[in-house]
Amino acid sequence: MNDTILILGACGQIGTELTQKLRKIYGDQQVIASDIREGQKEFLNSGPFEIINAMDKDAILEVVKKYKVTQVYLMAAMLSATAEKVPLKAWDLNMQSLLHVLELAKDMHIKKVYWPSSIAVFGSTSPKINTPQQTITEPSTVYGISKVSGEHWCNYYHNKYGVDVRSLRYPGIISWKTKPGGGTTDYAVDIYFKAKEEGAYECFLGEDTNLPMMYMEDAINATIQIMQAPQENIKIRTSYNLAAMSFTPKVIAEEIQKYIPEFKITYAPDFRQEIADSWPQIIDDTPAREDWGWKHAFDLELMTKEMLRNIQPTTNELLKVL
């Protein structure tokens, strides 16, 4: 394996764990982490790190040349809830960064590109149950508009210029190492931290809001698996539906209560409810399973055990106990 990988947005929720896993597979020096600012120290020290603004094409090209980068994972993006507050800024970041990377691939500076899409490409006119790979995509959020447009750009660069770009429509991703920022599905991460630290959580979505979700380990495995799959297995160049589980805030709370019986959840839906209501509830990811062998490992039960085992009480909590 002679690949050298650049990760843009390496300090984010997915970027952090993706960098760690790719360094294990390809070697620390072969994986260049980059972000607009520095992130966790231990992780920066485990291999090369560069400050890059993903909207600066020259800066990306400079690092690509410096390390002879062959693959780029573009993980920098503004998520759904934040993007609604600054729509044009979100559009600029999410689109420009993608077009820069696709252009670099078109001009043969890099060989392969990974770019994440999202369940946010779907809107209220899409089927909500078993949402198929190909269906109506009329998103109501600026994040969704940027993702559906990005998918078409990926497909266009592949068909027109032969760019090897691969993409997944992530559901909500749940992790304990790095928290997400600005997403509508973030409640499903916050709830575990609050359950462990305070024994109570006020949820910004209503109790019956069913959304597709996935544990981080599965998301990372899917990402690396699609990137390592033989070219001929990648039959969809917009973005693949990807699924593992779906649950509501009420159901996840009940699962947590199995381990923390005194855990209390209350509901105070805000503007994010409308976003969640426009998204699918259960995704059909048959093509990903058939084309390149996708298989998830974590369900709600297993994920809850992992999350609660790994989240440590904060220092404040420790002090209270002592």
Distance in Å, CB of 160 to ligand SER, minimum: 27
Phi, psi of 8 (to 5 degrees): -95, 130
Catalytic status, residue 259: no
DSSP for 264-314, please give it.
EEEE---THHHHHHHS-SSB--HHHHHHH-------HHHHHHHHHHHPPPP
CB atoms within 10 A of CB 289: 16
* Identity of the residue, 60 or 78, whose beta carbon is nearer to ligand SER in the bound complex: 78
Nearer to ligand SER, 26 or 247 (CB): 247
C-beta closer to ligand SER: residue 185 or 239? 185
* Contacts (Cβ under 8 Å, ≥6 apart) of 71: 3, 4, 5, 6, 110, 111, 112, 113, 114, 227
Rg (alpha carbons) of the chain, rounded to whole number: 19
The contacts of residue 40 (CB under 8 Å, 6+ apart) are 11, 16, 178
Nearest distance in Å: CB 193, ligand SER: 16
Q: Which of 143, 170, 187, 240 is catalytic?
A: 143
Q: How far is the CB of 119 from ligand SER (least distance, A)?
A: 6
Taking the least distance from each CB to ligand SER, the nearer of 94 and 185 is 185
Indicate the helix (H) or strand (E) that contains 252.
helix 249-257
CB-nearest residue to ligand SER: 183
| Shortest Å distance, C-beta 90 to ligand SER | 11
**What distance in Å separates the CA atoms of residue 266 and residue 204, rounded to the nearest whole number?**
9
Closest alpha carbon to 195 in 266, 299, 273: 266
Given the complex with ligand SER, which of 6 and 173 has the nearer CB atom? Answer: 173
Which residue's CB is nearer to ligand SER, number 60 or number 120? 120
For residue 196, what are its two tokens?
């462990």
Q: CA distances (Å), 232 to each of 177, 198, 218, 235, 291, in order?
A: 34, 50, 23, 7, 9
Provide the minimum distance between the beta carbon of 184 and ligand SER in the complex, in angstroms, as a whole number.
Answer: 4
Least distance from ligand SER to the Cβ atom of residue 45, Å:
29
Catalogue the E-assigned strands of the chain: 5-8, 31-35, 49-51, 71-74, 112-114, 117-118, 164-166, 168-170, 172-174, 200-203, 211-215, 240-241, 245-247, 264-267
Report CA-CA distances (Å) from 71 to 109, 110, 214: 9, 6, 25
Which stretches of the chain bind ligand SER, using CB under 6 A?
Answer: 79-80, 118, 120, 143, 170, 172, 183-185
Closer CB to ligand SER, 123 or 183, in the complex:
183
CB of 47 to ligand SER, least distance (A): 27
Active centre residues (catalytic): 143
